[in-house]
Amino acid sequence: MKIKFKAIASLVLVAASTFFLGSCTSDADSSGYEYMPDMYRSPAIEPYVDYGEVRGRVDNNAKMKISALTPPLNTIPYYGTDSVYVNLMLPYSRKANEAFKLTHGMYDANLTVSDDYSLSAVDVNPIKISEDNSDMLFKKGKELFASNCAHCHGEKGDGNGPMVLSGAYAGVPDYKSLIATEGQMFYSIYYGKGAMGAHSSMLNKKEIWTLVHYVRKFQDANYGQPNAVVVVVSDSIIK
C-alpha cells in the first residue's frame, strides 16, 4: 500500500513540476501559461468586425448595420489641463443645417434649422499666427492640405487638382477668388459644402484651423508675415 502511495505521490509531484516548469518562459514579455485567462483578462474590443458573418454564419440583417460605434453625444475626449488647448478642442458650437440630411448624409447628427454657415462669418481663428509660429503652422498646414485637400483643390489652391482634371468633379473654387471669412472656411471644412463632404471625422478642430491659416496663404502671399498688409475681400477681412 505504501509502495502504491509513494508511486502516486511521485507521479503527482512529476506532473506538478512539469506543469509549473512548463509555465516558465525565457521571453521577458511573456506571462507564461495562464489558468483561465478570460476570467481576468478581457478580450480586446473589435469595433470593425463584420457581425453579419461570424464563423461562417451569415446574418443579412446585421450586414446592413454599422458595427463601429461612435462615442455618446456631447462626450468630450480628455485633452489635458492646458485651458487654452482644452477650449480649442471643445465641441464645435455651430451645427449643420437640416438640409445636410439629404446633401451630406448626416442622418444622426444634431442639426439645426438656422443658417449657421452665415453665423460662422464672425468666428475668428483661435490659433493666433505670429512671426514665431508661422513657419510651423504653414508646414503643418501644407501636410494636412496635401493629404486631405490637394486631390481636388490642387497643390496651388487653384481648384485644378487631379480629381478635377480627370473630370470626376467640377466647380471646385480657386481660393484666390473665394469670398469667405475664416469662420466660414472652418465651417465648410468641418461640415462640408457643395460637393465637398465633411472632414470632421478625419481632422480635429486644431488641424482644421491650421488648414484655414494655410488657405489664407493662397489668398495673400504675405499672410502671416510681420507688418502684412490687410487685404479686403468683399465683406471679409483677410489679414
29-85 pLDDT tens trace: 766 666 666 666 666 666 666 777 777 788 888 777 766 666 777 777 888 899 999
Task: Kindly give the residue spans of alpha helices, DSSP state H, lying in 149-204.
Answer: 150-153, 162-165, 182-191
Strands 236-238 and 57-58 come out as unpaired
What is the distance between the alpha carbons of residues 161 and 150, in angstroms, rounded to a whole number?
6
pLDDT, mean of residues 143-156: 94
pLDDT, mean of residues 167-196: 92
Whole-prediction pTM: 0.68
pLDDT, mean of residues 198-218: 94
Cα–Cα separations (whole angstroms), residue 220 to 85, 87, 125, 238: 27, 29, 16, 8
Q: Locate the domains of the chain by residue range.
A: 2-63, 83-238
CATH code of the domain occupying 83-238: 1.10.760.10
Cα-based angle 115, 70, 209 (whole degrees, multiple of 5): 50
Residues 6+ apart with CB under 8 A from 90: 76
Write down the pLDDT at residue 2. Answer: 56
DSSP string, 44-60: PP-TT--TTEETTEE-H
Averaged confidence pLDDT in the chain: 82
Neighbours of 174 (CB within 10 A): 15
Cα–Cα separations (whole angstroms), residue 95 to 121, 186, 208: 14, 12, 16
pLDDT-above-90 percentage for the chain: 46
Among residues 74, 94, 88, which one has the least CA distance to residue 183? 94
pLDDT at 207 over 80: yes
Distant-in-sequence contacts of 171-175, Cβ < 8 A, 24+ apart: 171/195, 175/215, 175/218, 175/219
pLDDT, mean of residues 149-168: 93
Cα–Cα separations (whole angstroms), residue 196 to 153, 199, 222: 11, 9, 28
